Amino acid sequence: MLPPLLFHPLPQQRVWGGRRLAQLYGRELPSGEPIGESWEISDRPGAVSVIANGPLAGHDLRWLMENQATDLLGDVPSADGKFPWLFKILDAAETLSLQVHPPPGFPEGEPKTEAWYVADATNDAHLFAGLRSGITRAQFREQLESGQLETCIPRVPLNAGDAMFLPSGRLHALGGGTLVFEIQQNSDTTYRVFDWNRTGLDGRPRELHVDQAMAAIDFNDTEPPLAPVEGNPRTIADAPDLFKVEQHILSAGSTLELSAGLQVVAVVTGALEMGNLTLASGDHCLLPACLGPVRLRANSDTTLLLTRQ
């Protein structure tokens, strides 16, 4: 029987990154580098998460998929033999590029649907998503060539606790001043359409993928709303056959009973006990399908995200 699994985070240098992962979660980060992403649970080539707890410590997620995939996944299908999801924390000190991920059936790349949950936000935090009503493909291309794309894209103010579902094909960019928990398909295909005229870490403009982006963008996707704020649990993303993400708010001392099945618990604020494990804010715990029902107990007022299919 596989136990609940914790993994060593994988920090990723990004030109738009910051240092809040150290400030908020006590993470040890490479000295002096802008760290934009921490890959919490990953089965990507060159970035595979290593187990940090229990008798399997030192093995990685790729080893689990190759040796115990049935116990790990249960009825959840893999992504062409890979773990189906990728979990990240994003620290956007500056605005990310305006980008889109390809939809299913696109002639190249991997489809990618994702969800963002805002864990921390400055007073001017925001995101861009979708298109303003009435913007045509031709108008978008014209504004892109003139460097005035902001007129085409809704700018959405953000506060901690806000969430946005990002189906593949939705144009989007995360604004500076945000720290976000990201849940996504196991894919890393991104088409940049605009990068705010900045240079990369090497001092040169980063590569754009305008033609691919123009083909991948859903131009009927206008003015998408943030996730509704009501409910406990609160559904922040529901992508059929891919994943469902819920926010749960627990008061100190209360418990949450989870049924069996592959799922991931991510602690946004507070702390949890799960058997002999204690989970602090920022921690992500993978619950294998073979584990059976699990009880979570809140050590303090706690907000968590639960991902399952």
Check: CB of residue 90 under 8 Å from CB of residue 117. Answer: no
Measured CA distances, 117 to 205, 288, 304 (Å): 29, 23, 11
List the alpha helices (DSSP H) in the chain.
20-25, 61-67, 69-73, 137-146, 210-216
Candidate list 192, 206, 297, 308, residue with the active-site label: 192
Backbone angles phi, psi at 125, to 5 degrees: -65, 145
Whether residue 192 lies in the annotated active site: yes
89 by Cβ neighbours in 10 Å (0-12 / 13-18 / 19+) ranks as buried
CA distance 80 to 8: 24
Instruction: Show which residues are catalytic.
Output: 192
